[in-house]
Amino acid sequence: MSTPDRAELQRIAQTVDTNRKRMEALEQQIGRLEQIRIEQVQTIETLAAIPPEGSKGAMIPLGSGVQIIVDIPSNPGVVIDIGSRVQAENTLSEAFETISERGEELLRLIENLTEEFNNLEQETLVLANIFNEQIAELQGTEPELFGNADEEPPPSTEAAPITTESKPKRRKRKRGTEFTLDD
């Protein structure tokens, strides 16, 4: 196989590897955003559970299994983070609207990232198939190429069918001797 073809194989393998890393990052980001979305839905459900006349003796979780007992007045104020650790008090209906808008924005972002992930996955599959086809063609026409100790095979990916069993065993070199063609 000529050098440009070999360089193309290496470029494809690197692109596939880069795409896989990007896909992993997208998966993690989508997972985090879905957790935030679940939290938003739970918040809306909790706010909806507050009766219009308020509630006496409601237990509000603080975390670590600790809850505080409070009286919730009718039409309570709800404090919402509006960004940069700035918080503002809103009415219950304003809080529903704000959280719902944020939820819609979050869903659009998740959809965009999912679409990006799917496109990247398709591109990666096409490149991996091209890589595998070229490797198969290479092994079918010139199998001795990877047996030569001077040349290294292109970086392998999970999709690469290259094995190390085809390489001949190297002889041990004695100290102070020159390299031979077999080394």
Average pLDDT over residues 31-45: 94
What pLDDT, on the 0 to 100 scale, is given for residue 63? Answer: 87
Average pLDDT over residues 68-95: 91
Q: What are phi and psi of 95, to 5 degrees?
A: -65, -45
Name the more confident of 136 and 101: 101
What pLDDT, on the 0 to 100 scale, is given for residue 82? Answer: 87
**Contact indicator for 124, 16 with CB cutoff of 8 Å:** yes
Residue with tokens 């219009």: 52
What pLDDT, on the 0 to 100 scale, is given for residue 38? Answer: 95
pLDDT band of 132, cuts 50, 70, 90: confident
Q: What are phi and psi of 2, to 5 degrees?
A: -75, 165
% of the chain residues with pLDDT over 70: 74
**Contact indicator for 11, 134 with CB cutoff of 8 Å:** no
Q: Dump pLDDT digits (tens) for 107-119.
A: 999 999 999 999 9
Average pLDDT over residues 148-164: 41
Q: Which of 26, 36, 61, 28 is nearest to 46 (CA)?
A: 61
Q: Dump pLDDT digits (tens) for 57-66.
A: 999 888 899 9
Lowest mean pLDDT among 2-6, 24-28, 157-161: 157-161
The overall pTM is greater than 0.85:
no
Residue with tokens 């918040």: 43
What pLDDT, on the 0 to 100 scale, is given for residue 9? Answer: 87
Calpha distance 133→39 (Å, rounded): 46
What pLDDT, on the 0 to 100 scale, is given for residue 79? Answer: 93
Average pLDDT over residues 123-136: 87
pLDDT band of 148, cuts 50, 70, 90: very low
User: What does pLDDT average to over the chain?
Assistant: 79
- Evaluate if residue 183 carries a pLDDT over 90: no
